[in-house]
Amino acid sequence: MLYRRALTREMGLTTGAVLAVLVSIALVILFIRLLGDVARGELANEAVFVFLGFSLLYFLPVLMTIALFAGVLMPLSRMWRDSEMVIWFNAGLSLTQWIRPVMTFAAPFALVILLLTLVLNPWVQSKKNDYRQDLQSRSDSAMIVPGMFAESGGGERVYYVDSLNPLTGVVRNVFMQSRLDGKLGLVVAKEGNYTQLEDGSRYLVFHEGRRYEGVPGQLDYRIVRFTRYWMRLDPAEVQPRQTNVRQVSPIALLDDDSPAARAELLWRLGVPLSALVLAAMAIPLSFVNTRARRSYGLIVALLLYFIYNNMVSLAQAWVGQGRLDPWLGMAAPHAAMLLAVVVLFYLRTQGRSFRRRRA
């Protein structure tokens, strides 16, 4: 019918616009966090955009859920403000008849979210862990970025280079601080370069500089002037790989009876289910008083979303701690919000019927 096509088109445009805004905001926040990791020497400069993609994919299901909720709520609220809803109601449509087009629109979104949480996110987390392990196995040279202080993976050295010639590989105005057996060592050199020997070992060679060595708080520092100073860049010691439940496939989660696995399964199934519940809830929440030209539906919608999200998070935490039965933790938050949807529909439809009888 006409109202279904018009509503579906407007919901699609609104959902896409909201999702684009949310993704842009998420990218900025995640990018700033990753730059902080680079500045602290916890992440190589070359890995920023890789980890940015990994992190965005992990948060994408939640962003899609919020976008879907807003994409249903905003067009319906506009129809109330423009009195289109009144026209459709006078044409014989009831509020419950809007459920079908909304759910038809929301179902593909929920399916995509389900595929993201069940299939793609575990793969992303596994690849992210593999990439992090690969970075940890590299030498300290991978962490050195011109113009920024960089700390080695073990925290034993701090590097700073003023500039880097990408053609020759020569760095200028080099500074390095190291600690060994309680002694503090400082190396300042005019320039330096990376050298790899035939056995594969890598060295940072300093040219024309000084080395200061001593115990902090004491005056007996040793100063050594050098023409050339070699320092080996040992590969970082890689910790044994530990598999997190976020990296486990859904089939393996079903076979695992541990509380952590059940809690992870609760979250993966809960996100797409909450998307459908929120889409249905947006229908009665979209009401706008056309006479007063104001609505508290958006405020109530935000409040209910945060309550819903906290309920799911609390259930996941309790299941992970073994304090709550997994099936009860899965069903309780969504059943409570479904009950809230039924109550909202009842209040909205009964309110209209009561006003008609009074008229």
User: How does pLDDT run across 252-269, given as a tens digit for each residue?
Assistant: 888 888 888 889 889 999
Radius of gyration of the chain from Cα atoms? Answer: 29
Residue 242 pLDDT greater than 60, yes or no: no
Q: Answer yes or no: are the C-beta atoms of 284 and 347 closer than 8 Å.
A: yes
pTM of the predicted structure, to 2 decimals? 0.74
pLDDT tens-digit map of 178-233: 877 777 888 899 888 877 777 767 788 889 899 888 877 777 778 889 888 888 76
How many CB atoms neighbour CB 18 within 10 A? 20
State the pLDDT confidence band at 60, using cuts at 50, 70 and 90: very high
Quote the pLDDT of residue 359.
46
Quote the pLDDT of residue 358.
46
**Which range is least confidently modeled, 83-87, 109-113, 239-243, 307-311?**
239-243
Counting other chains too, the contacts that 122-125 makes at CB distance below 8 Å and 24 or more residues apart are 122/246, 122/247, 122/248, 122/249, 122/250, 124/54, 124/57, 124/58, 125/54, 125/58, 125/244, 125/246, 125/247
Q: Answer yes or no: are the C-beta atoms of 125 and 249 closer than 8 Å.
A: no
State the pLDDT confidence band at 143, using cuts at 50, 70 and 90: low
Quote the pLDDT of residue 155.
63
Higher pLDDT, 165 or 279: 279
How many CB atoms neighbour CB 219 within 10 A? 6
Measure the CA–CA gap between 281 and 99, rounded to whole angstroms: 10
Quote the pLDDT of residue 278.
95
Q: Spell 228-257 as b/e; 16+ CB within 10 A means b.
A: ebebebeebeeeeeeeebbbbebeebeeee
Question: Phi/psi zone of residue 136: left (φ > 0), alpha (ψ -120 to 50 degrees), beta?
Answer: alpha
Q: Tell me the average pLDDT of the chain.
A: 82
Quote the pLDDT of residue 355.
46
Measure the CA–CA gap between 208 and 249, rounded to whole angstroms: 55
352: exposed, middle or buried (Cβ count in 10 Å: 0-12, 13-18, 19+): middle
pLDDT tens-digit map of 268-285: 999 999 999 999 999 998
Residue 173 pLDDT greater than 80, yes or no: yes
Residue 138 pLDDT greater than 60, yes or no: no
Quote the pLDDT of residue 238.
47
Measure the CA–CA gap between 13 and 50, rounded to whole angstroms: 29
**Which range is least confidently modeled, 49-63, 126-140, 335-349?**
126-140
- When mean pLDDT is compared over 17-31, 85-99, 171-185, the highest value belongs to 17-31
Length of the chain equals: 359
Measure the CA–CA gap between 185 and 95, rounded to whole angstroms: 75
